[in-house]
Homo-oligomer: A and B are copies of this chain.
């Protein structure tokens, strides 16, 4: 087994100094053509590559960005990762992944792990428990350490950083408006508890659209699911709740759900209750994942553009990272730029499928 070769070994082997080797390999014109050739040939032969760790230590930057998300077995989040990874790699960065598993504590531990020199910046989406606790000190702490953060999807006003979100409010408005246009009179909503910002915004959009259409909101037609406790039989509970909801409100002829799982589950329940979709009830979900595409009937959704969110987040972060490189001093004192945080809003669009007319 041949360990990776280092500058030192090349230097010894070729009987030159380490710095000569270093310069030759970076094509410095300080070094004569002869030695450069010799050194480069040797390096190539032994497949020399500079050690990343040493470079990181020297340059005080790792060229890797951390991702911290609540869950990876989730189409939306993996889509975002893919987007981040694409632009990160293109721009010469690596990607390191931490999972909070929706837990406040694990989010903090992971942040500290990452912030301890492993990464130059972080892209994250806040865990549910953190949202519930409303304790964001760990984010501010890392930012204060000089590690820029970009938040996506589940963001929060209390933290000053770049953000990438989807237009949850208007996405919901569009969806509900569409249901109204399609002739629905009693439009129900299945949503999450309010502490998840995206759920709250989508709920507001639902109410707004009803208002605009001159329909009075009816709180009976709103079902709030509490999925904070991640129990085994979550799915059964979900279906039971929806069943009761539908039975209590047999007049529902349109449904907007804030995610695709709720929408697909609702369709399943509706079918079991003998309803035909979209004839008896039209359904629109949020987030365009595999489920939407392959459900029966396939689901009309408000697309969330996860990959695009990832790409934007990565670009935002790397832009800021490389901006620091240039105007170092200014940037870190009390330059106004410090507070010019960008909020990118990605437009949603409705992808029509079979669950609406």
Which residues of chain A have a CB within 8 Å of any CB of chain B?
1-4, 47, 49-54, 56-57, 62, 64, 72-75, 78-79, 81-82, 85, 94-99, 112-118, 141, 144-146, 235, 264-265, 268, 271, 290-291, 293-296, 332
8 contacts between A and B (CB under 8 A): A1-B145, A52-B116, A53-B62, A54-B117, A96-B97, A265-B294, A271-B296, A296-B296
Q: Please pick, from B75, B81, B235, B294, the residue contacting A97 in the complex, using a CB distance under 8 A.
A: B81
B85–A145 touching, CB < 8 Å: no
Kindly name the residue among A52, A116, A145 whose own CB sees the greatest number of chain B CB atoms within 10 A: A52
CA gap between A74 and B73 in the complex, in Å? 9
Give the Cβ gap from A212 to chain B, nearest Cβ, in Å: 33
Known: A47-B141, A54-B117, A95-B97. 16 other contacts (CB 8 A): A1-B332, A3-B145, A4-B117, A4-B146, A49-B112, A50-B116, A52-B117, A73-B78, A75-B75, A82-B99, A94-B114, A94-B118, A95-B98, A290-B291, A295-B295, A295-B296
B97–A113 touching, CB < 8 Å: no
CA gap between A50 and B117 in the complex, in Å? 9
Q: Say what secondary structure dominates the interface of chain A.
A: helix
Give the Cβ gap from A292 to chain B, nearest Cβ, in Å: 10
Contact A53 to B57, CB < 8 A, known contacts A290-B290, A291-B294, A296-B295:
yes
Q: Looking across the interface, which residue of chain B has its beta carbon closest to that of A76?
A: B73
Give the Cβ gap from A251 to chain B, nearest Cβ, in Å: 25
A51–B116 touching, CB < 8 Å: yes
Contact A51 to B291, CB < 8 A, known contacts A81-B72, A97-B95:
no
A73–B64 touching, CB < 8 Å: no
Q: Please pick, from B56, B94, B146, B265, the residue contacting A113 in the complex, using a CB distance under 8 A.
A: B94
Give the Cβ gap from A355 to chain B, nearest Cβ, in Å: 12
Contact A3 to B82, CB < 8 A, known contacts A94-B96, A117-B54:
no
Find chain B residues with CB under 8 A from A113 CB.
52, 94
CA gap between A146 and B271 in the complex, in Å? 57
Q: Looking across the interface, which residue of chain B has its beta carbon closest to that of A47?
A: B141
CA gap between A56 and B62 in the complex, in Å? 12
CA gap between A141 and B291 in the complex, in Å? 41
Find chain B residues with CB under 8 A from A144 CB.
1-2
CA gap between A282 and B78 in the complex, in Å? 32
Q: Looking across the interface, which residue of chain B has its beta carbon closest to that of A264?
A: B294
A96–B95 touching, CB < 8 Å: yes
A85–B57 touching, CB < 8 Å: no
Q: Looking across the interface, which residue of chain B has its beta carbon closest to that of A265?
A: B294
